[in-house]
Amino acid sequence: MATSLNIARDNPNAAPVVADKTAVLPSPAEEKPSLIGLSREQLAEALGGIGIAPKQQRMRVAQLWHWLYVRGVSDFSAMTNIAKDLRALLAEHFTIARPEIVDEQISVDGTRKWLFRFPARGAGRPVEVETVYIPEEGRGTLCVSSQVGCTLTCTFCHTGTQKLVRNLTSEEILSQILMARDRLGDFPEAQTPQGAVVPSEGRLVSNIVMMGMGEPLYNFENVKTALLIASDGDGLSLSKRRITLSTSGVVPEIARTGDEIGCMLAISLHAVRDDLRNVLVPINKKWAIKDLLDACRAYPGLSNAKRITFEYVMLKGVNDSNQDAKELVRLLKGIPAKINLIPFNPWPGSEYECSDWERIEEFADIVNRAGYASPIRTPRGRDIFAACGQLKSASERMRKKDREAIAS
Ligand code: SAH
Ligand code: SF4
């Protein structure tokens, strides 16, 4: 249930209202385990635990999978091909409920940002998580969080100023997708009476990027479980080519990402020299540019049809010279790559400025002339603080006057 709905679109001059919640969330009541975010094997095991016979488990898992991930139901009572007493048994032991919506904001450009609250459910304390939906012509991208806060401290990133609260569970990662589809009316029940899987082209959430809060490769197992469910052909059925995982450069997990998840890879490069990258993306002190690019060259499945995206934030006077652009081209030689130039999104207290537009274009021209696609990422949802690197949730909220200063 929405406790606060703030639609900036209706009143573009209004400062976004963020629910005024205290940093410390109430201590958890006894929560039932959720069936969302379990692999098929884990689901079968959970059913075994409440007495479902092994020879029935496969069929029951298939039924549940369909209801949860094709139809998107969030109540056992909607599962009409499952007998009433079994539905009651399931409801007695498990939940499939969605998280609470603490806040929903819609930008003047149509970008939506949600703040979801998940109960504790044995995963430590309850958490509040931000998820962003970016509608585009003929497609829509959901930016999903993997952690609350981040252990890393990239100096240009707002999330990096929030200490890690905890890793999200696979339920919490996957539920961000389910919630977005609920809120956008993107489940097939609303579109096709048969409840068949909707092809990617016809969907509002057609693409997923693991570019919300946190470093996904520091929460590998939960991210993997969630993304394998998201791409499962009998369920949400999102093509792995439409799922991109962005990492700041956790080198030892890069090969596993290709082998075990098989999604598209994005690398937050942001600098072409180790001395500068050590400052901007401090994980570079552990795994330097050369190690990172070697891991990229070896990325399983890499080809011209499946390129790595290199993200490069444009910071005025810091990393945006023509020399930097030329060095970038030299470094990436031989790697099937796209370069995504991201205009820096400011936040209160940030010490950087975004490069001037002409500078960004000149930088892009050099990269383009070398044969790399180098789209400049249009900042989306800045007025509701939903743009790249601006996410930072409950535990430390921005003061209203700071938000207004940034949005103006
Ligand atoms: N932790 C992962 C994924 C989340 S960040 C990573 O670092 O890759 C998603 C992207 O937004 C990253 O490329 C990140 O470097 C970029 N980003 C962070 N802060 C930003 C800001 N203030 N302006 C523009 N891009 C930013
Ligand atoms: Fe963490 Fe990514 Fe932000 Fe760096 S850019 S602090 S890795 S979320």
- Could you give all domains of the chain from N- to C-terminal order, each with its CATH number? 23-93 (1.10.150.530), 100-407 (3.20.20.70)
Of 313, 314, 345, 406, the one to substitute when testing ligand 1's pocket (max ligand atoms within 8 A of C-beta) is: 313
99 Cβ neighbours under 8 A, 6+ residues apart? 116, 117, 118, 119, 129, 172, 175, 179
pLDDT averaged over every residue in the chain: 87
The catalytic residue positions are: 130, 388
Mean pLDDT of 295-323: 97
Least confident of 309-318, 347-356, 381-390: 381-390
The pocket around ligand 1, CB under 6 angstroms, is made up of: 154, 156-157, 211, 215, 246-248, 268, 311, 313, 342, 344-345, 388-389
Q: Which ligand is nearest to the CA of 283?
A: 2
For residue 288, give Cα distances in angstroms to 75, 130, 258, 283. 48, 30, 20, 8
* β partners of residue 68: none
Alpha carbons 93 and 363: distance in angstroms, whole number:
57
**In terms of Cα–Cα distance, which of 227, 272, 223, 268 is closest to 377?**
268
Cα(67) to ligand 1 centroid in Å equals 35
145 Cβ neighbours under 8 A, 6+ residues apart? 129, 130, 131, 168, 173, 176, 212, 213, 214, 391
DSSP secondary structure, 221-287, as one string: HHHHHHHHHHT-TTTT---GGGEEEEES--GGGHHHIIIII--EEEEE---SSHHHHHHHSGGGGTS
Of 157, 211, 247, the one to substitute when testing ligand 2's pocket (max ligand atoms within 8 A of C-beta) is: 157
**Closest residue to atom 19 of ligand 1, CA basis:** 389
pTM of the model: 0.88
Closest atom of ligand 2 to 157 CA is: 3
Q: Which residue has the tokens 């006894």?
A: 30
Instruction: List, for residues 19-53, the tens digit of each pLDDT value.
Output: 333 334 444 445 899 999 999 999 999 999 999 99
Cα(319) to ligand 2 centroid in Å equals 17
Question: pLDDT value at position 390?
Answer: 72
